[in-house]
Chain A
Amino acid sequence: MALLQARGITKVYRLGRVDVPALRGVDLDVEQGEYMAIMGPSGSGKSTLMHILGCLDSATDGSYHLGGTDVGTLRGRALARVRNQKVGFVFQTFNLMPRLTVEENVALPLQYRGGHTRRERRTRARALLDRLGMSHRTGHRPEELSGGERQRVAIARALVGEPAILLVDEPTGNLDSKAGAEVLATFREVHAAGDTIVLVTHDQNVANEADRIVHIADGRVAA
């Protein structure tokens, strides 16, 4: 079985009395170590798919296995645990905690996981920041960082829990082209180190970074 295996995923939103289908049966496999891009125009359902793949939301129908576990049936606390242990999120708007230092931001997922001492969390956060070339910024607040630096901190935060999969949403959408290129270079390094990446974008140049591109249109995987 693939690292990520989705079968017949549907998602229907109910708006008042009308059912609005966002996904109409998506089949998707992502192999261990793969770098995949999901492309599609807005309204195509790609964000909904990403939310389901990231366990932020659950599908109306279909099965979803992540790292061998059937996560499609999980809800609430169990789903929060899967997000914490198996998924690393990188957002378009970085979503760092403004009042925490860079190091504290990176250590946050470990805090929610529990079972690590403060020292362990710190060591792991520093190691990752070091790897991404951000060790000179550990004690700074996010507002003191450039956009590219913020996104690299966010990538470090996504990786700190050693997730099965990195879910990336328009990582360069809020960056200028130079910072965007740097962030994309960082993803290349991360991928080279063996991590699995699923990237959602509508930018062809960004999608071209990936090994494989999947197009979504009208809630289905386009041929």
Chain B
Amino acid sequence: MNFFEALVVGLAEARRHWGQTVLSLLGLILGTGSIVTVLALFGGQTKQTTDFIIEQGGFGAIIVYDREESLQPTPLELASRRLTYRDAAYLKDHATMLKGVAPGYFGRHDYRVGDVDFEGDVIGSTPDYAQINAIFPMAGRYISDLDVRRQARVMVLGWAYADSLFKGRPEQAIGRIVNLGGKNFTVVGVMEREEFYWAPWSGNSLAYRNRRSYIPITTAFSQYTGENDRLDFLTLKAITPTGGPAAEAQVRQMMLMMHGVEDFDIQPLGQRNPDDAQFFMMFNIIFLIVGIVSLFAGGIVIANILLASVVERVREFGTRMALGASAFQVFAQVIAQVTVISVLGGLLGLGLGTALTGAVAYFMQQPAAVTGTMAAVALCTSLGVGAVAGFYPAWRAARLSPVEALRYG
């Protein structure tokens, strides 16, 4: 049996029942269209997340916090000194899975320059911090090892603070004095403006990085904590971008050894705002449900049309069998017919999906694009639904007894 002839018959059948054909096509088109859109949007979001993580320092960046104390702490918990500078020093010397260790102090203090005065964040850290977080000075320099060793009273301003303290001229901050919590600091650098937008409406997700200043961790201890070496956080970087989990395991083991109890939390850096993520997940799920329901409905309609068409052509199948068509050849003919509809539905659905993706990408300002893989997945889905829907009618046709089929009607 010539497959091409079967396709021609399939097309003719599709035309003869055009009303039902349009219905089943509609199901397939909506179905594949929705699935293409979900894939494209999902692909766009995955790229966004990757970009966001890279913007924040890349894969393999890790942050360690003190875990909140239990309501009824055990003696081991009470004995632990919690996260300290010593932990950082130990990890720097012994953790083979890490290439960067930055102990961190976090505080809120009064910033004052002339008549500008506000309260804001201060980060105390070491040169590693800038590397781990992929932040760079726009003017001047970042904290140096020498600053750390000397407990120097120097600061590096985040872009927004430099901008407000020096009235729209952040570059003029270098060399000036800023009063921070009653103590004078010399500004040695101003950081670049950090920005990342998930969507135009969602605002700058990295804005918090512009609203802070950086001072040497040792200076933070001597000036604000009274020589107490407790840390507020510890930022780490694995030796390779994919080495995050291995590094986390090593750090957990070492810190457990030092603390005697797991009174800390270890997390990868750069996770997306969960509310945003949830919103997009909901969006994807809606499209996916529409897609699956449409494909399901389309499949049922196709199965119905084919069954009707098989019943209508029982005598024709009988004749074909008398001429020597095997059961398999009859089966293949019906499958070829459903293939015509499936390919057509898949292609049109791909078109719809591409248009829908374009519209969503335009109105929601999301990066999303239909790739070759997605197109292939969509076509295969459509063909798959067609094959499943066509199987029973085709089997019915193939199972006909030639004698009864010839006598029929």
Measured CB to CB, the residues of A under 8 A from B are 51, 54, 56-57, 76-77, 80-81, 83-85, 89, 91, 95, 97, 99-100, 104, 108-109, 111-113, 118, 157, 161
Contacts and interface: CB of A to CB of B under 8 A. Distances in A.
A111 B12 contact: no
Contact of B324 (A51, A85, A91, A95): A85
Contact of A109 (B2, B324, B402, B406): B324
Contact of A95 (B2, B5, B8, B315): B315
Contacts of A100: 5
28 contacts: A51-B403, A56-B321, A56-B322, A56-B403, A76-B327, A77-B326, A77-B327, A77-B328, A80-B321, A80-B326, A83-B321, A83-B323, A84-B323, A85-B324, A91-B322, A91-B406, A95-B315, A95-B316, A95-B318, A95-B322, A95-B406, A97-B316, A99-B8, A99-B12, A100-B5, A108-B323, A111-B2, A112-B326
Nearest to B316: A97
B355 interface: no
Contacts of B364: none
A48 B84 CA distance: 98
Nearest to B13: A99
A81 B323 CA distance: 9
Contacts of A161: 324
A112 B1 contact: yes
Contact of A111 (B5, B8, B326, B403): B5
What DSSP secondary structure best describes chain A's contact surface? helix
Contacts of B323: 83-84, 89, 108-109, 112, 157
A83 B322 contact: yes
Given A77-B328, A97-B316, A89 B322 contact: yes
Nearest to A95: B319
A30 B319 CA distance: 24
Contacts of A112: 1, 320, 323-326, 329
Contacts of B325: 80, 84, 112
A57 B319 contact: no
Interface string B394-409: 0000000111001000
Contacts of B177: none
Interface in B239-256: none
Contacts of B9: 99
Contacts of A95: 315-316, 318-319, 322, 406
Contacts of A54: 322
A211 B94 CA distance: 108
Nearest to B2: A111
Contacts of B315: 95
Interface string B363-393: 0000000000000000000000000000000
A109 B326 CA distance: 11
Contacts of B326: 76-77, 80-81, 112
